[in-house]
Structure 1
Amino acid sequence: MSPVTPPWEKVLWKKQPYPDNYIPEGALDSSLRKNPNFKPYTYWPLVHLSTAITQHLATIFIFLCVFVRLKDHSLDPRVLIFLSLGCFFLGYLVWEVLQYTQNLGGSNHGNERNERIRLDRVKTFKSSILIFLALMSLSPVLRTLSAATSSDSIWALSACLFLLNILLADYGSSNPVIQGRHERLTSVLSMNAAISSSVVLASRLTNDLAVFALIQFSVQSFTLFPMLRRRLQAFSDKKPSTQAMQTLLTLILSISSFLLAIPLSSTIAFLVLFVLLAVTMLAPAVLVWAQKYKNEIRGPWDVAVPKLN
């Protein structure tokens, strides 16, 4: 009579009559899990999240159209300066309204809040004056910065810097002003890449006023506007009623980039329109469609994840 084989046990300290790689039949069936952390996406929330990318791309297209018009002297630099100042005051007004709305729901004392707002306004005013004077004094230097460099190298360098700006930009709603955190390193690198690209493009212009107007527009487009965009996005995440403002801003920037590109080249204008529509409408649809192919299997071979209270 043959001895009865003892049942297999999942222990290492006990010698068993089984090979080291032995797994009993059906041992894994009860512990297998398919897509345990999967949260399905829906289309319209993804479209809303993609508006930040659309706004950033539209801003770059608008900036490039403005540069081309300054270069061929079809746009007066003084008009651009006044338009930039108007956009700055409009954006600052929106910023103040959002800050006032945030403070209404805050728990800070009234005197502390008013003092902090006053200090922020004074700091903003001083910074604006310093940037304005610095750009005026540096415009002659920036105009001759790359005089010895060929235009082909300038176009290639500018394209690479704008591509780096797109890849490293912060499209989330994390705002250091609201959440008390510092800017991400990638966000700072993205901003520096955009400003550097603007500087090398401005060196192709012929007069100091045009250089000043373009750099001023660049600072507002790639430094100040992303801050306002993230604050709007943070408010739209908390209050769905403000999502209409985010949608309206996306439409304004997209239509402006398309209208500015049409006189330059109809082919480029429709290409810009296709890119913006693809990012806003097509990419979320592809992501929703691709969810059905997600197949992540979890089992006892995975590293244990500690559960913390």
Structure 2
Amino acid sequence: MSTTSPWEKVLWKEQPYPDNYIPEGAFLSSLRKNPNFKPYTYWPLVHLSSAITQHLATIFVFLSIFVRLKDHSLDPRTLIFVSLGCFLLGYFVWEVLHYTEKRSNKGDVRFDRVKTFKYSILIILALMSLSPVLRTLSAATSSDSIWALSACLFLLNILLADYGSSSPVNQAPERLTSVLSMNAAISSSVVLASRLSNDLAVFALIQFSVQSFTLFPMLRRQLQASAKTLQVILTLFLSILSLVLTAPLSGTIAYLFLFVLLSVTFFVPAVLVWAQKYKNEIRGPWDVAIPKVN
């Protein structure tokens, strides 16, 4: 009686089987369902969504301040002093996070404070000198076009913003989408500032815009990675502040914004956790082989 050698899944060995042969049950036994799937839990998703909530709240705070500057119910000098205080507070938190991260990782972190201070002075001087130009930038453009352009730019800013976290020590380079998002927000701020009536108000609004859409996202990403409790407190503060500033201007918009905040923060993570049970990714012999290199 002749015995047939068992089939092996190799190409270098000559076997007494057809080229397209496969044993019964071998194909089904090699199928894998969701091999790399890691289920999400609700509260960590809520914490991750706080970055989106903070970003939306920051935009509504900025728009509320713009409306108050436009109808002269807010003194531009008050906004300048408040922006300066927020900058100093944020810088203090940045330094604390930097010091803590440096001690825990024992890494060599270069943080040139003199260069940072010099760049801050240059930016302030540049904004002061460009304020008269920015005020008359869209003098020949109708306000309806300005509102539509600003809304589109802020929408682009929301869609392209970087909502991830980063370590103060090992910071990754800025992604292209983050740069485009920041440019869209600053451009929207510039076109809105051109609707203001005096140079000081333009300078105050652009200064607040630079802090809100350029410096604050950097601090937010570090808080998300290093200080989760402070991140939660900041989310609550910004949400309440945005609602308090928006409600006197329009109750309808305030209610809609509250609905958006609650949906983004609590409802969308719940939907994502619920939808995990429908995930059905099947891996099998048809997948491209991934070499394992030591």
Give per-residue Cα distances to partners, 1:249-290, cap 9 Å, x unaligned. 000000000000100111100111111111111111000000
Aligned equivalents of 1:99, 1:143: Cα separation in 2: 38
Secondary structure at the counterpart of residue 99 of structure 1: helix
Q: Which residue of 1 aligns with 2:50?
A: 51
- The answer as to whether partners of 2:135 and 2:199 remain within 8 angstroms in 1 is yes
Change (3 A) 1:8 1:307: closer
Distance 1:178 1:200 in 2: 36
Are 1:64 and 2:57 an aligned pair?
Answer: no
Measure how far apart 1:104 and its partner are.
2.2
Whole-Å Cα distance in 2 between the matches of residues 163 and 21 of structure 1?
54
Check if 1:212 corresponds to 2:211. Answer: no
Distance, in Å, in 2 between the alignment partners of 1:107 and 1:42 is 32
Partner of 1:258: 243
Q: Tell me by how many angstroms 1:244 deviates.
A: 1.4
TM-superposed CA distance for 1:67, in Å, is 0.9
Q: What SS is found at the alignment partner of 2:259?
A: helix
Letter in 2 for 1:250: T
Q: Which runs of 5+ in 1 are unaligned?
A: 1-5, 236-241
1:88-112: CA deviation from partner (whole Å, max 9, x where unpaired): 111111111111212222435xxx8
Residue number in structure 1 paired with 2:220: 229
Aligned-residue Cα RMSD (Å) equals: 2.3
Structure 1 residues 61-140: aligned runs within 5 Å: 61-107=60-106, 116-117=110-111, 120-140=112-132
Letter in 1 for 2:32: R
Cα distance between partner residues in 2 of 1:286 and 1:249: 25
Work out the number of aligned pairs and report it. 290
| Aligned-partner residue type, residue 195 of structure 2 | R
Further displaced range: 191-200 or 160-169: 160-169
Checking the alignment, whether the CA contact within 8 Å between 2:190 and 2:206 is kept in structure 1 is: yes
When residues 11 and 103 of structure 1 are mapped into structure 2, their CA distance, relative to the original with a 3 A threshold, is: closer
Pair 1:191-2:182 in alignment: yes
- TM-score, normalized by length of structure 1? 0.87
Change (3 A) 1:232 1:73: same
Q: 2:174 & 2:132 partners in 1: Cα distance?
A: 31
TM score, norm. by length of structure 2: 0.91
| % same residue | 79
> What amino acid is aligned across from residue 106 of structure 2 in structure 1?
S
**Runs of 4+ residues deviating >3 angstroms:** 6-18, 20-25
* Structure 1 residue 10 displacement after superposition: 6.3
Q: What is the deviation of 1:155?
A: 1.2
Q: Once the 2 structures are TM-superposed, how far is the Cα of residue 146 of structure 1 from its aligned partner? A: 1.0
Q: Does 1:296 align with 2:281?
A: yes
1:277-296 equivalences in 2 (<5 Å): 277-296=262-281
Task: Determine helix, strand or coil for the equivalent of 1:181.
Answer: coil
Query: What are the residue-to-residue correspondences of 1:117-196 with 2, within 5 Å?
Result: 117=111, 120-175=112-167, 177-196=168-187
